[in-house]
Amino acid sequence: MLNRPSPAMAVAMTALVVAIGGTAAADPFAQVAKAIKGTKIKKRSLPGNRIVANGLGGAEINESKLGKVPAAALADNATHAATADTATHATGADDSAKLGGLAAGAFVQGGGNHIAIRRTLPANTPKAKLFSLGDTGEISYGCTSGFAILQYVNSTAQQQDVSISFIVPNAPHATVDYSAQYGAGNGTIFELGAQQWHVHAGSDSGQATLDLTASWNGTGCVFDVQGLSTLALT
């Protein structure tokens, strides 16, 4: 009568058969593994290192369930990212719309105001303000018997970039006075039967190019102002 092998002997023999038979002998175990359904595996029981490296693709992942990658938090503000390749040159971007430190509004670019002023004064009218030339000074006018009066005064505390070319109509091409700048409190005044001024003024507030003419008409004085200005004439 033969003795039955002990359980330990049975396990050892099975392992020996598997070792000798290789895949063919292990095939029953593989078939059993294939028969195990995912629903039978305990939730959260498989670690990530049990998955083949790079074994998961779009078919296995529901992208709509993925959250925002932490490093991408700033991407929401990347509206102008396409032009960011020039950002390294943006050190002076705040001044890029300026010329010599002056904003675009300080220059006449076709958007200036057209100035057209006519004033008449009777004889013996004392000199008074015609208009303030923005923040660059003041133009005054007056009339005596036979003479028209024009005056510019820098009424500010700083030197102003005001240029005045003064021409006597009866002496063609004769420039009587020309000055590119006037210091605080300085100015020029003329009393003549007829005179013409070309005035150019500029400041941080804007600039103006004006023609002023004045003449005695026999009973009083006539003054005309024409030009363009982004300075406020008040």
197-221 per-position pLDDT tens digit: 999 998 888 899 999 999 999 999 9
Please compute Rg for the chain using Cα positions.
Answer: 47
Amino acid symbol at 123: A
CA distance 177 to 185: 18
Predicted pLDDT of residue 208: 93
Which is nearest to 215 in space by CA: 117, 128, 120? 120
Is it the case that residue 122 has pLDDT exceeding 90?
yes
pLDDT higher for 138 or 1? 138
Sketch the domain layout of the chain as residue ranges.
1-46, 105-229
Average pLDDT in the 120-124 region?
97
Rounded to 10 degrees, the C-alpha dihedral 38/41/46/50 comes to: -50
pLDDT at position 51: 76
Residue 210's pLDDT is 96
Give CA separation, 108 vs 105, 123, 135, 167, 229, in Å. Answer: 7, 36, 16, 24, 7
What local confidence, expressed as pLDDT, does residue 13 receive?
A: 56
Q: What is the pLDDT of residue 177?
A: 62
Note the helical H segments in the chain: 7-21, 23-34
- The predicted-structure confidence for 132-191, as pLDDT tens digits, reads as follows 999 999 999 999 999 999 999 999 999 888 888 887 766 655 656 666 678 899 998 989
Tokens of 19: 């070792």
Q: State the pLDDT at residue 59.
A: 72
Task: Report the distance separating Cα 58 and Cα 62, nearest Å.
Answer: 7
Tokens of 185: 């409190």
Strand order in the sheet with 206-216: 113-122, 220-229, 206-216, 194-203, 161-167, 175-179
For the chain, what is the total number of helices (H) and then of strands (E)?
2, 10
**What local confidence, expressed as pLDDT, does residue 73 receive?**
63
8-66 per-position pLDDT tens digit: 555 555 555 555 555 555 566 566 666 676 677 777 777 777 777 777 777 777 777 77
pLDDT exceeds 60 at position 107: no
Please give the share of the chain, as a percent, with pLDDT higher than 90: 36
